[in-house]
Structures are given as C-alpha cells and as structure tokens.
Structure 1
Amino acid sequence: MLDTALLIVREEGVDRLTLGHLAARAGVSKPVAYDHFGTRSGLLIELYKSVDIEQVNALRSALTTGERSLEETVEVLAATYIHCSVDTSGERHALGAALTGSEEKGAVYQELLDGYVVLFAAVLKPHSTLSPAELERRCVGLVGAGEALSAAMVRGSCSEAEAAEAFASLIQGAVRAPVG
C-alpha cells in the first residue's frame, strides 16, 4: 500500500492522500487501510519513513566506501544528499511539510532530521578539530541548509549541480574551526 500511497502523492499531491482514496487505488477495503495505518497521520508517517530510509541508505552507501579527504567527503555528502531529492521528485518535501502539521507528526519528522545530524557528524568528525558538541550544532544547521537547498532545487530555483555546489561550500566552511 505504501507504493500506491507514493504514487498518489506523485500523481495527485499529498493533499489527495487519504486512507479512503488509498484503499480505492490499492484495491482494498477502507477497513484494511484503516487497520494497517490507523489514521491519515499514521499513513503519512509510514510513507515519509519509507521514502527517508531510501535516502539514508543512499547516503550511507556513498559514504562508507573507502577513506576520503575532507574535500572528497564533502563533495560526496553534498551531491548524494541533494541527489536524493531529485530521486524523490519533491514528494519527500511535500510529505515533510505535511508532517509538520501536528505534534505527533512533527516529532517523527524531527527524529528523522536528527538522524541526518548524527550521520553528518559521524562522517565529518575525522576531518574536523571542532568539539563533538560544536560539530553537532553545525550539522544541525547543515541539515537545515540541505533541506532548504533541496527544496529550492525541487521548485526549480536552481539546478541539482548548483544546489550540490552551494551545499558543499557550506559543509566545507562549517567543518573548519574558527580562527583566533
């Protein structure tokens, strides 16, 4: 049913994703959809998690192959993070926006963003002299910047290459300890 839900979001938008509509498109009864997800919020959460797991796996896969210099690490991190938004054609951002509508959904969305912060900090730690706490704070900002650049790219404000280049520049600057 998650595949059908994602198809609905791609074709009709996140606002059209209801349990009743999902049931009809998936060829199941409404009670089956309600038993599986409980509520529309439950459906949105599960769909966002399934889309998000693909991005996390792509990032981990790209970042766990061999040792890299800071420049190579930054380039791979930025390009892969931005590219995942291309792969999802904007539905990840639409689902994320829909998740911010309630405390329950917002908490799940924040938990997923926090996972990226941990991943970024782990990948960048070998290349930074910052304290772990400072690196983590900067990674919070980087994840926010990555989300904003991805959204700008999905809206057509910049190309994938431009977004990745800007993101790489931000990452590079954030990892360096301040002088003096």
Structure 2
Amino acid sequence: MQKEYTITVYTEDRIGITNRITVIFTRRQINITSLTTAETEIPGVYKFIITVMSTRELLDKVVGQIERLIEIHRAFVHEEEDVVYQELALYKVSTQSLDKGNIEQIIRENNAKIITVDPNYFVIEKTGHQQELLDMLKQLEPFGIIEYSKSGRVAIVKWSRRFHDHLKELGEKVEDNLNSISV
C-alpha cells in the first residue's frame, strides 16, 4: 500500500549528487513530492530530506541503491510517526483588498506573522504541515493572493538509537579526517 514516507540521506557535498540521488527515484517511477537539502551539525555532511508516496518495500530497495553511491554516508526510510516536521509558506497579499474583511484575525488564528509590508502588498509567513498551509491559502484568497510559495519538508527524526549512533560515528570520522589532513 502506498503512503507518504520521509527519506533522509547523509552525504558529502559533491557536485551532481542531487542528480544521482533523484535519478534512482525516477528509474523506479517514484515521484518526489518534496526535497530539501542543507548542511548538518557535522561540518561537511549534508542532509537530504525527501518526501515521496510509495510502498515501504520499494523504498527499502531505493535506499539500498542510494547507499551504494560513493558520496553517501547513510540513508534511511522513515514512517510519518518517526519524524517531527514542518514546512514554511509565504503568502503575498494585495493591500488593496484589506477592506474585504478582518485579515488580522486570520493571521492570528493561524499563528502566522507579517514579515514585510509594501504599499502594494504584504507578505505573511506560516509554518506547519502541508494541509494547514493550504487551508490558510484558501482563507486568504478573498484578499487577493498575488503569490504563494511553499518550502519542502524540514524534518528531524524522533529518537532512534541506530540513527543517533550513526550520526555520532559520522562526526568522529569527519573529525579524524580533518586531523589527519592537518598533521
């Protein structure tokens, strides 16, 4: 049965690594619904957070293929209940339609905030899960949405001994490599 999964991939920073990872999904005809990358707390180690709809069996095979790439430290498949995650949305709204209702109430009720104001528009920021962000978009539509942009998923894995042990080992390897270069 297909459902949503989060895949985390820990890798070195190499040109073309994003392409090599995404091609593995493409070959298996798995659509990536979200992809976010950033450096981790370990210098030189980057984390890919990939969201897909698929089956666990197929994703276990994909992760195995990803881990065979030279630049990959480790890759993991996570069920939704194994991760804490958020997404970020920005809403550019026309200032001309402010007389159409109480937009301040919508902003407060959605725990959002205004991050910039211009004579023609203002920008609202909201974090949350995808459905929350889409619900707020619908609420703001009568006010004149000029533009909407949403980030990919940012996720942290809940406690997992195997996962945290791996991160610790990875940090020690990076430190050892740095020490051997400076000697």
Q: TM-score, normalized by length of structure 2?
A: 0.29
Greater strand proportion: 2
